[in-house]
Amino acid sequence: MTVGSFFIGFLAGICSVGLYLYLAKRANPSPQRMRGYLDLIPSLTEDQKKKLEGIREVFLPKVAQIRKDLRGKRRILAELLFSDAMDKQAITQKMEKITALQIRLEEEVIDHILEEKMLLTPEQQGQFYQIIIDQFRSGGLGVHGVGGRWEKQKE
């Protein structure tokens, strides 16, 4: 074996590993790059991706605001729970407001899933179904910030 042959083989090996890592990263986007579960479906067309971005431009700010409101109300609830003068009525009212926001968030997510589903082919809908089922099994729809495996991976 000559030095030149060894060098060519060595470079080919490095290129192969690099290509494998690149393809693996594209096929399995990290949670930081993901904006939604459809990012896990590699067969989306450019037209589907463009329509999806339009849907997300409306959905993501809407749910971000709901989550912000939830955090604020939960902070107030914590203050009420641990204040010296316990006000059961105020605690109950705050809890009801939190529950109403949680329901609103869930409705927005469900509407979003149904809207996204309409963009997909039957095969892609099957993949989307499996993604959603996997998320429900692991505790929620984590990519939208409510638990699930993406939240657990970030910790």
Low-confidence ranges of the chain (pLDDT < 70): 1, 3-7, 9-13, 15-34, 140-155
Kindly state the helix (H) or strand (E) to which residue 82 belongs, with its residue range.
none
pLDDT at 146: 40
- What pLDDT does 80 receive? 96
Other Cβ atoms closer than 10 A to 112:
20
User: Integer distance in angstroms from the first to the last C-alpha of the chain?
Assistant: 49
Tell me if residue 80 falls in helix, strand or coil. Answer: helix
Please choose, from the candidates 62, 66, 88, the residue with its C-alpha nearest in 3D space to the C-alpha of residue 77: 88
SS3 content of the chain, % helix, strand, coil (to 5): 80, 0, 20
Residue 18 is predicted with a pLDDT of 62
Side chain identity at 128, as an amino acid letter?
A: F
Residue type present at position 10: F
pLDDT at 152: 43
Task: Specify the pLDDT at position 12.
Answer: 66
Residue 5 · residue 100 · CB < 8 Å: no
* Architecture of domain 36-154 in this structure: Up-down Bundle (1.20)
Q: Where are the domains of the chain?
A: 1-30, 36-154
Where are the alpha helices (H) located in the chain, listed in sequence order? 3-27, 46-81, 88-117, 122-137, 148-154
